[in-house]
Amino acid sequence: MIVVMKKEATARQIDEVVKHIESWGAQAHIDRGEALTVIGVIGDKTEILRKPWTSFGGVEKALEVSDPFKKASRKFHPSDSVIEIEGVKIGGGHNCVIAGPCSVDTEEYVVAIAKAVKAAGAQALRGGAFKPRTSPYTFQGSGEDGLKILQTAKQETGLPIVTEVMSVDQIDLIYKYADIIQIGARNAQNFNLLKAIGRLNKPAILKNGIATTAKEHLMSAEYIMSEGLKEVILCLRGTRSYETAFRNSLDVALIPYLQEASHLPVIVDSSHSTGLRSYVSAVAYAGMAAGADGLILEVHPDPKEALSDGEQALLPRDFEFLMKKLANLKAWSQKEWRRFDNEGAK
């Protein structure tokens, strides 16, 4: 449930409510917005609902939250979460583009890609050192050598590193190098891994599963957040459907839906959504036009030589063209969409 404080509520009154919540064995999560303060309460619902909330000074009302995801819910946290990594902000009107190779290959290629995407406007570098592949006989990643190459590229460009973790036993190694830890589609419901990531103090990008619903995506985020990590970024990479023209199907309507249901930033992976270079930029543009907080996509100067998914990697010149198009895009923000809907309903 949530406790909504009055606009004029004092810090002392807010602290007093929090003390009572904790004395009842529940957890209190404070969200101080521009207009009001909301306290999220997690505990035994039956007992919590019986408490005399409005008798406390500064309390306006108490509301039950029906969403099974609590910490990820916008009801718990009405304001947009803004996640900052080494000066790069994501969410709350701050858009971020993450670009780089699917798999880390040579140092020469990765450093060149990092320089190219930074020059075009990317704010972070992606690259896979461990690769979850459908076939056990295909390239599985270069491991720590790949992580070291990413670190070299960061030293050359200053771009924060985004890389994927596949299992709990990789966490300590990846933690040494990554600035943002990515959880891929195949691990979207690997709950032991999600909880382990939640105990770290590094931001996480959580992709939706191969065939998960939006609710299941948010429940996976809840697994991470239930362990203490607040800095979670939701990533839409499409889902498997009856359509065979593309690798996956991306529903851009999920962008405003997730932003309405949750306070977490929402970004789009247009490379894995389509699987084909010809459509990557169009889906990226559509996602940003729908109000996404950013993009993650693949770039390679010689896709035929890429160690994985070369067919969906943009050439550096194509990435530069996309960034120029996005610079002129006047997308509606999540707040503007909601205002439009509310006004239309009057």
Do 114 and 182 belong together in one domain? yes
Total domains in the chain come to 2
Of 20, 35, 63, which residue is a domain's last? 63
Do 46 and 114 belong together in one domain? no
End-to-end CA, the chain: 28
Do 97 and 27 belong together in one domain? no
Q: Residue-wise pLDDT tens for the chain (346 aa)? A: 899 999 999 999 999 999 999 998 888 989 887 778 999 998 877 778 788 888 889 999 988 888 889 999 999 999 999 999 999 999 999 999 999 999 998 999 999 999 999 999 999 999 999 866 566 656 556 789 999 999 999 999 999 999 999 999 999 999 999 999 999 999 999 999 999 999 999 999 999 999 999 999 999 999 999 999 999 999 999 999 998 888 899 999 999 999 999 999 999 999 999 999 999 999 999 999 999 999 999 999 998 888 887 899 999 999 999 999 999 987 666 667 666 665 555 4
Of 11, 28, 63, which residue is a domain's last? 63
Length of the chain: 346
Q: Considering the domain boundaries, does residue 264 fall inside one?
A: yes
Q: Find the CATH number of the domain harbouring 325.
A: 3.20.20.70
Could you tell me the residue range of the domain that residue 190 belongs to? 83-336
Q: What is the DSSP letter of 123?
A: -
Do 13 and 108 belong together in one domain? no
Collapse the DSSP code of 127 into the 3-class scheme (helix H, G, I; strand E, B; otherwise coil) and give the result.
coil
Of 63, 96, 116, which residue is a domain's last? 63
**Single-letter residue type at 270:** S
What's residue 264's pLDDT? 98
What's residue 140's pLDDT? 57
Task: Quickly tell me which residue has 């010689």 as its tokens.
Answer: 302
Q: Considering the domain boundaries, does residue 268 fall inside one?
A: yes
Q: Considering the domain boundaries, does residue 305 fall inside one?
A: yes
User: What is the token pair recorded at 164?
Assistant: 């994927």
Spell out the residues 6+ positions from residue 341 whose beta carbon is closer than 8 angstroms to its own: none
Do 303 and 161 belong together in one domain? yes
Q: Considering the domain boundaries, does residue 76 fall inside one?
A: no
Task: Quickly tell me which residue has 């590094």 as its tokens.
Answer: 202
Do 175 and 114 belong together in one domain? yes
Q: Find the CATH number of the domain harbouring 9.
A: 3.30.70.1140
Do 54 and 92 belong together in one domain? no
Q: Which helix (H) or strand (E) holds 63?
A: strand 59-63
Do 56 and 102 belong together in one domain? no
Cα–Cα dist 315/319, whole Å:
6
What's residue 141's pLDDT? 65
Q: Considering the domain boundaries, does residue 75 fall inside one?
A: no
What's residue 131's pLDDT? 67
- pTM summary value: 0.90
Q: Considering the domain boundaries, does residue 70 fall inside one?
A: no
Do 118 and 50 belong together in one domain? no
Each residue's pLDDT tens digit, 138-162: 655 678 999 999 999 999 999 999 9
What's residue 287's pLDDT? 96
Q: Considering the domain boundaries, does residue 74 fall inside one?
A: no
Q: What angle do CA 333, 339, 345 make, to 5 degrees?
A: 140
Do 209 and 292 belong together in one domain? yes
Q: Considering the domain boundaries, does residue 344 fall inside one?
A: no
Beta carbons of 128 and 134 less than 8 angstroms apart: no
Do 42 and 108 belong together in one domain? no
Do 198 and 255 belong together in one domain? yes
**Single-letter residue type at 319:** F
